[in-house]
Structure formats: structure tokens, C-alpha cells
Amino acid sequence: MKGKISSIVNKGTYSESGSYGNASFCISEDGTQNNELYCFRILYYENKKYESGQTDIKVGDEVIVCGKWMNYRNNTPETVSGGAYLVSLMRANNGGSSVVSFNTNSDTQTWKTATDGTYGSGYSTTTNSLDIGYYKYQCSSSLVAPNSNHIRIYKNSVLSIATTDGRKIKKIVINCAPNAGTTSYCFDMSGLEGCANAMADKSALIVTWNGSTKKVLLYPKDGQVRMEKITVELE
């Protein structure tokens, strides 16, 4: 279910929920308190508890919630307590930055085959004012579609992230999948078309890019990056 947070219920921000690590809030199509749906005790990303220091929620944020819904007392639609979790969060743009964060798997995004005029065949999706795609470029292997856990950005293929509303991207954080072997699927990524490079932190399993542009093009030269989640901060 997708909507804008119209009200926070009973100190329902994640940071105020203490050890429970969940939040209760209402959403509606336009963010007003009309035709609200009650999101009751929603867990955080990946169906896990919220931890201190993670991005909290506020009224006006656009969210996607996945889980079990019920008709409480036969007249009120709401989520089952502890049976739903946050999939995507786009911060309300109140003169500051916005943050889009979501898992990059086939269960929560609508990926389709696509072709880029410069970088070749691949897959793309559009979500929360972002066009995201990955393309073959100079890769020697055939690309594979997203699975339920991650996206495989092969060595010498290209990851493309662009805004659809004219805003600029100022930070990207990619969470990488671990490898059962001695190395992780986490590598530096070189920037194309004037973009800065993205640097890998193998101990934290993240790749981070910083800059200011409407479109970011990155490709790994040294090894495959398996992307589990991506967080994009917009100016």
C-alpha cells in the first residue's frame, strides 16, 4: 500500500517506540486526514525493528507499506500488528533534502527489460521520482533480472540513477550482499559522464557516492556489486 503519512498515532514515530522498534501512523492518497488507512505497529525495512540513528518518519512523508491487512471490528481497515513493514520512504520536501530508500528486489519494485541508447540492454524501474536502471555496457556476461534478494551489477556494467522531477542527487548509499567466500560483493564504482566515483567500505558492506547532479552513472571495474538496498538523498 502506498500513501502519504497524514497523521502520527500515539507517539508513533519510530524513535519514540523504544524497544518495540515499530511505528503507528495513518496514510492517505493526498496526505490529508480524509479516507485514511491505519498502519498499526509497522516494522522497519526488511521486516526488522527500527534502530537508533536510522531515518525516522514524519507527516507528509510518502511511504510504501507491505504486509497483512485486516478489517478491524468489521469497519476499519488497518494492518495486522507486527505483520507489516516499511518498504519505501520518501521524505517530505519542506525546503530541505528528501531521502528515498527501498529494497531493490523484484518483490517490491516493477522491473522491466530496457535498452539505453549508450549503454545497451538491461533492466529498469521508476519509483518515487527516480529512474533506476542497470545496463550491459562493457560487461562480458549477460545481465540477469532482479531476484528476491538483490540486483547483480556485473563488472563493467552500468548502474544509472536519475531524477524525474528535476531535483539533484547529492548522496547515494548502496547496501551490498555478503559473499560466502573471502570477498564481498562490494567494490568501488567509477563515475561516467563527469560523475564522481563511488567508494566501497567492505567492512560495512556499503558503497557511497557524493556529488550534485540530476543523473548518476556508475560502473564497477574490479568486481560484481550485488545491491540489496539503495538510499538516495536529493537536494
**Per-residue model confidence (pLDDT) at position 33:** 81
pLDDT category of residue 200 using cuts at 50, 70 and 90: very high
pTM of the model: 0.67
Q: Which residues lie closer than 8 Å to 138 by C-beta, 6 or more apart?
A: 156, 157, 219
Average pLDDT over residues 147-161: 93
Q: Say whether pLDDT at 71 is over 50.
A: yes
Please provide the DSSP assignment of 16-47 as one string. GSGGG--EEEEEESSSSSSS-EEEEEEB-GGG
pLDDT category of residue 76 using cuts at 50, 70 and 90: confident
- pLDDT higher at 147 or 98: 147
- pLDDT higher at 170 or 82: 170
131-140 pLDDT tens trace: 999 999 999 9
Q: Which residues lie closer than 8 Å to 233 by C-beta, 6 or more apart?
A: 97, 98, 99, 169, 170, 171, 172
Q: Say whether pLDDT at 95 is over 50.
A: no
Average pLDDT over residues 84-94: 78
Which of these, 114, 117, 125, 51, lies nearest to 86 by C-alpha position?
A: 51
Q: Say whether pLDDT at 73 is over 80.
A: no
Strand pairing of 130-135 and 120-127? antiparallel
- pLDDT higher at 231 or 109: 231
Q: Please give the span between the terminal C-alpha atoms of the chain, in angstroms, as a whole number.
A: 26
Q: Which cell numbers hold the place of 144?
A: 540477469
Q: Which cell numbers hold the place of 145?
A: 533480472
Type and span of the H or E element at 189: none
